[in-house]
Amino acid sequence: MILMTCPLVFGSLVYADRPDFNDKEAPQTLGDFREIQNALQSHLERTRSATVCLQMGGGSGSAVIISKEGLVLTAAHVTSKVDEEIKVIMEDGREFTGRSLGLNSETDSAMLQIEGAGPFPFVEVDLKDTTRLGDWVFSLGHSGGFDKARGVNVRVGRLVREAETTVQSDCMLIGGDSGGPLFNMEGELIAIHSRVGASREESMHVPIREFQAHWDELKSGKFIGDGGFAQKSKPGTGFLGVATEESEEGGLKVTELWKDGVAEKVGLKVGDRIIEIAGEKATKVLMATTLAELGAGDKLTLKWISGGKSKKETIKLGERP
Amino acid sequence: MRIFIFIFAFLLPLAANSLPSEKRKNGPLIQDALSPVQVSLQESSAVFYNNETSKAFLYGTVVSDDGLIMTKASEIEEVESYYVRVGTKKFRDPIVVARNDVWDVMMIKIVAQGLKPVDFSQAKDLPHGTWVVSNGATERRFRRPRAGIISANKREIPGGSPAVLGVGLKEQDGDLFIDNVTEDSGAALAGLKKGDKLLKVDGSDIRDRDDLITYLKEKSPGDKIKLVLTRGSEELNLEVELMARHKLYGKGATRNDQLSGGEAQQSARRTGFPMVLQHETMLNRNTVGGPVFTLNNQFVGMNIAAVNRVEAFAIPGQELSELLAELRKEP
């Protein structure tokens, strides 16, 4: 807690390139407005090109690329699951496939990796947490979904409220902006759009320090917490669609397959012998206890012998009927 | 030093974590700083007041020194009688001189002299992020400025013809049939029925959907068209009054419409414009119609739609200037 807030305060004393308009209580002259405009416009080309639209299951959100290799930050309620395929659309209409990494369901933060050859356009991140209450900021997003003719939607405002895991701005947001980026006037990413308040001028964002606090877990694909921004799969609801019996040769022999079940779809056949479940020697008990912990949509790696050949697949579980 | 930081860090969430409302983007301190631009709003905006309630319900843009004002047609026609204020002066008995439904613009005349019209010659393309200033709420004698930035690409907003028959069409074997009739539409009132075969519109043969749509694009709500149809072996001659698309179909609110305050806040007609500037100034259906200025007091457009909580549309100055020339030619 103390370690995390120290740089916030310290930063204001150390960094000299803070724009002057941030230290005025409000713009006093048109010159102050022009300085804000100049700062904002100098960062728009780069920040717009790195602001992407995410599409999955009929829904649409926004996100921002933070590395040339295609690492993306967004909101947990946009990806909603780990290890899901998500369509990524750039402002110019180019489409890529992305895969969701980890998410924090308590604070609404999530990561995603674009699959495909970079380099991708990306933005700098305010890792030193230098932005403070009252600072001028700008917000980008694919409001209401992707619209090539319109392009990325830009808004300007100030940071109007600060809390540890949420910051609030008076940049207006709407559906489709979720997961999109909030920048300071040095063009650095400071937060990700999460939700709106009752009035048009209350917009909530997840600050970068919240991503930093769980960086490795998010990057390694972990589902954090039981919060309201993403629902963890329910243990026991995962369904493989296979009946087995212990085999004398070791492992589990497939005796029956559920029609159109995920096991059948991945190519398992009656008579095949499952030899490993999630990297461990396959037994009837291990199969039962493993499935009891997994939910629909969770993944399970199986290794089996089919017609004398060894096969290995990671299978996404179906819904238990 | 370390202790100071420690205390400060603890105070932060307790006391200093909220910016007072007067310093926020739409707060009074920002309005004060915009006073050099407010001068232009004060001179070249008109305010329309409902005669019955004396409430301001719409703005207008002054386009001639002798009292021509342009405003949003679909909003002003909602109010039966109104008066106008320009600057601090009140003008009774405005008259409608011309309208254009493609742009949703009404031209109104008041009896006045020596007004300060907006200067169309200054209009130019503005990059994203440029500050623009519009009318916010108003006082009787004072136009309050409200700031926003150009927020997206200048573009056409599709929306089809502003005037509709109120039918669904089906092409079959080279003929055009009525597939469904919208309740309360001009087509329903005229007695069109599903299955009717369309032969002629205003005397011309029409056999496909695109021809009909192209023809309707030239028409305005309230216009009447003559149809020749066959129903079974019977030939029918019907006259149908066209209705405004947004009135007939404008009710289907999305989640983003609800988030934007719905009908109370959003302009009823917010699609179907040949070209718009988009900005993010917080407007509502009652604060459109007025001029948009840059920080240099350059006139760049007229607000035409409060679209949702993040988007406002303005007719660009260049296009508005051409429209004005066209409307002035009309008898």
CATH number of A238-319, picked from 3.30.70.141, 3.20.20.10, 3.30.70.1880, 2.30.42.10: 2.30.42.10
All residues of chain B having their beta carbon less than 8 Å from the beta carbon of residue A2 are 6, 9
CA distance B17 to chain A (A): 5
Q: Residue B287 has which token pair? A: 């604060």
Q: What is the pLDDT of residue A82?
A: 93
Residue A32 to residue B33, Cβ atoms within 8 A: yes
All residues of chain B having their beta carbon less than 8 Å from the beta carbon of residue A151 are 152-153
Whether the predicted pLDDT of B57 surpasses 70: yes
Whether the predicted pLDDT of A243 surpasses 60: yes
Question: Collapsing DSSP states into helix, strand and coil, what is residue B65?
Answer: coil
Q: How many residues does chain B have?
A: 331
Q: Which domains does chain B have, with CATH numbers?
A: 28-156+272-329 (2.40.10.120), 166-247 (2.30.42.10)
Distance CA A109, CA A142 (A): 18
Q: What is the pLDDT of residues B61-87, one digit of tens each?
A: 999 999 999 999 999 999 999 999 999
* Average pLDDT taken over every residue of chain B: 89
Summarize the confidence of residues A74-102 as an average pLDDT.
95
Distance of CA B310 to CAs A141, A201, B21, B150, Å?
11, 10, 20, 11
Q: Residue A52 has which token pair? A: 């992407």
Element (H, E) at B73: helix B73-76
Distance CA A309, CA A72 (A): 39
Distance CA A140, CA A45 (A): 12
Q: How many CB pairs below 8 A link A and B?
A: 147
Residue pair A299/A316 in contact (Cβ under 8 Å)? The answer is yes
Summarize the confidence of residues A222-226 as an average pLDDT.
93
Whether the predicted pLDDT of B117 surpasses 60: yes
Domain residue limits, chain A: 2-224, 238-319
Residue type, B275: M
Whether the predicted pLDDT of B1 surpasses 50: no
Beta partners for residue A55, in sequence order: A60, A87
Residue A169 pLDDT level (bands cut at 50, 70, 90) = very high
Residue type, B256: N
* Average pLDDT taken over every residue of chain A: 90
All residues of chain B having their beta carbon less than 8 Å from the beta carbon of residue A163 are 13, 17
A238-319 and A2-224 share a CATH fold: no
Distance CA A26, CA B23 (A): 6
Question: Which of B8, B22, B151, B259 should be substituted to probe chain A, the one whose Cβ sees the most A Cβ atoms within 10 Å?
Answer: B151
Per-residue DSSP letter, B285: T
Residue A177 to residue B13, Cβ atoms within 8 A: no
Residue pair B306/B279 in contact (Cβ under 8 Å)? The answer is no
In chain B, pLDDT over 70 holds for what percent of residues? 94
Distance CA B176, CA B198 (A): 6
Per-window interface: A 208-227 vs B, CB < 8 A? none
Distance CA A222, CA A82 (A): 7
**Category of A75 on φ-ψ map: left (φ > 0), alpha (ψ -120 to 50) or beta:** beta
Is residue A9 within 8 angstroms of chain B, CB to CB? Answer: yes
Residue A144 to residue B308, Cβ atoms within 8 A: yes
Distance CA A113, CA A320 (A): 29
Q: What is the pLDDT of residue A298?
A: 83
Residue B129 to residue A41, Cβ atoms within 8 A: yes
B237 CB contacts (<8 Å, ≥6 apart)? B226, B227, B228
Pick from A5-14, B20-29, B320-329: least confident:
A5-14
Q: Residue B75 has which token pair? A: 């909003």
**ipTM of this model?**
0.83
B144 CB contacts (<8 Å, ≥6 apart)? B31, B38, B135, B136, B137, B138
Question: Which of B310, B311, B313 should be substituted to probe chain A, the one whose Cβ sees the most A Cβ atoms within 10 Å?
Answer: B310
Residue A6 pLDDT level (bands cut at 50, 70, 90) = very low
CA distance A45 to chain B (A): 10
Yes or no: is domain A2-224 CATH 2.40.10.120?
Answer: yes
- Tell me the pTM: 0.83
Question: Which of B19, B34, B38 should be substituted to probe chain A, the one whose Cβ sees the most A Cβ atoms within 10 Å?
Answer: B19
Residue A32 CB neighbours (<10 A): 17
Q: Which residue among A27, A134, A175 places its CB closest to the CB of B30?
A: A27
Q: Which residue among B6, B17, B150 places its CB closest to the CB of A163?
A: B17
Residue pair B321/B117 in contact (Cβ under 8 Å)? The answer is no
